[in-house]
Amino acid sequence: MRRMAILCSGGDVSGMNAALKRFVEYALMRRIEPFFVYDGYEGLIDGRIVKAGYEDVARILTLGGTNIGSARSKRFMEASYRAQAARQLQKRGIEGIVVLGGEGSFKGMQLLHQEHAVAVAGIPSTIDNDIAGTEYCLGVDTALNTVKCQIDAVRDTAASFRRAFVIETMGRECGYLALVSALTSGAEMCLIPELPYDLQAYEARFKRQLQEGRRYFIAVVAEALKKTDEIAAWFASRIGVESRTVVLGHTQRGGNPTVYDRITAFRFVTRAVDELLRNRSGVVCLEGSALTYKKVEDVAFKPYRISEELLALWE
């Protein structure tokens, strides 16, 4: 293999730029020509594919998001557009492609591989941390630390009043981000899809704590539950404290990547390039502290589960 490309697909995460930097530098070290595909599969279909060099990745380590754009692509779900995408690669002599994305992106990547013999290597990248098969997805650590700073700040203001704050974190189906944020910020309440909860038990406990002198409550609620406003109303009506909601939203995504996301990006990309050089398609996964390389179908199509040990920390 002489030429290799990289693209970002789906939601952006911090650490993607670190991955781009490593991709360019490691490819050149292995005497491969690196290419950037702009704007995900959309750019692949339309041929926005550009040769990359050192100067493209200078000083991008500190930037969140991705400098080559990301996109969601409906067209790529159609075989005809995937064929067009494959032709864009073939006519440039690009035989392998690294895809940073989530489950949906990997499904598309797999079809490209099966239909057009393009070598593909996926790198799990989503702040939801909801991909079965890997214990870690790029971007999660930065998102968690961003949320931590925000909840720490909210706690300062919450502690100044007799008040409850209901904080909604991202996570369309998975409560991982909410759970870890609630644990590590010392929240009084955590509501996620993976844990049953008993509002009556919370009510009894919170009322007792108010009598004992507690002034404020922090509740972290996963976006997936769609219950943020309901819980805020519950605090006002059942617990008898003023409440405020804070929807953290897109501020969770960006930001200067943490050391863990930078080093994980380097490790993921190094392995992905190594595997493509051996013409093996798959997804790089983190299991324990070791990297593994799995078949795409073993990664994308199974439900993710938060570890029992982590769930047990919330009691």
Residue numbers 181-220 binding a copy of itself by CB under 8 A: 181, 183-186, 215
Alpha helical stretches, state H, the chain = 16-29, 40-46, 79-91, 103-116, 140-158, 176-184, 199-211, 228-234, 259-277, 296-300, 308-313
Task: Using the minimum distance from each CB to a copy of itself, give the nearer residue, 86 or 222.
Answer: 222
Q: Which of residues 243-282 bind a copy of itself (CB under 8 A)?
A: 244-251, 253-256, 258-260, 262-263, 266-267, 270
Q: Please list the active-site residues.
A: 128
Task: Specify the residue, 80 or 315, whose C-beta has the smaller distance to a copy of itself.
Answer: 315
What is the edge-to-edge ordering of all strands in the sheet holding 3-8? Answer: 49-51, 33-37, 3-8, 96-101, 119-124, 282-287, 290-294
Residue ranges in 23-42 that form contacts with a copy of itself under rule CB under 8 A? 29, 39
Query: CB under 8 A: which stretch of 94-102, 104-112, 194-202, 306-314 binds a copy of itself?
Result: 306-314
Residue 156 touches a copy of itself, criterion: CB under 8 A: yes
β-pairing verdict for 96-101 and 119-124: parallel
C-alpha 198/C-alpha 29 separation (Å) is: 56
- Closer of 200 and 259 to a copy of itself (Cβ): 259
DSSP 200-243: HHHHHHHHHHHHTT--EEEEEEEGGG--HHHHHHHIIIII--EE
Nearer to a copy of itself, 117 or 159 (CB): 159
- Between residues 66 and 126, which has the closer beta carbon with respect to a copy of itself? 66
Pick the closest to residue 110 from 297, 235, 305, 260 (CA basis). 297
CB of 97 to a copy of itself, least distance (A): 19
By CB under 8 A, residue 14 contacts a copy of itself: yes
Please choose, out of 74-82, 86-94, 104-112, 284-292, the segment that lies near a copy of itself by the rule CB under 8 A.
284-292
Q: Does 126 bind a copy of itself (CB under 8 A)?
A: no
Q: Kindly state the number of chain residues that form the binding site for a copy of itself, as judged by CB under 8 A.
A: 75
* Min dist. Cβ of residue 160 to a copy of itself (A): 4
71 CB neighbour count, 10 Å cutoff: 17
DSSP character for 43?
Answer: H
| Of residues 127, 214, 91, 221, the one with CA closest to residue 166 | 221
d(CA 72, CA 39): 8
- Residue 45, both tokens: 């279909």
Name which of residues 63 to 92 contact a copy of itself (CB under 8 A): 63-67, 69-71
Q: If you compute the radius of gyration of the chain from its CA atoms, what whole number of angstroms results?
A: 22
Q: Smallest distance from the beta carbon of 122 to a copy of itself, in angstroms?
A: 18
| Nearer residue to a copy of itself within complex by CB, 70 or 110 | 70
Does position 101 interact with a copy of itself (CB under 8 A)? The reply is: no
Stretch that binds a copy of itself, among 76-84, 85-93, 177-185, 191-199 (CB under 8 A): 177-185
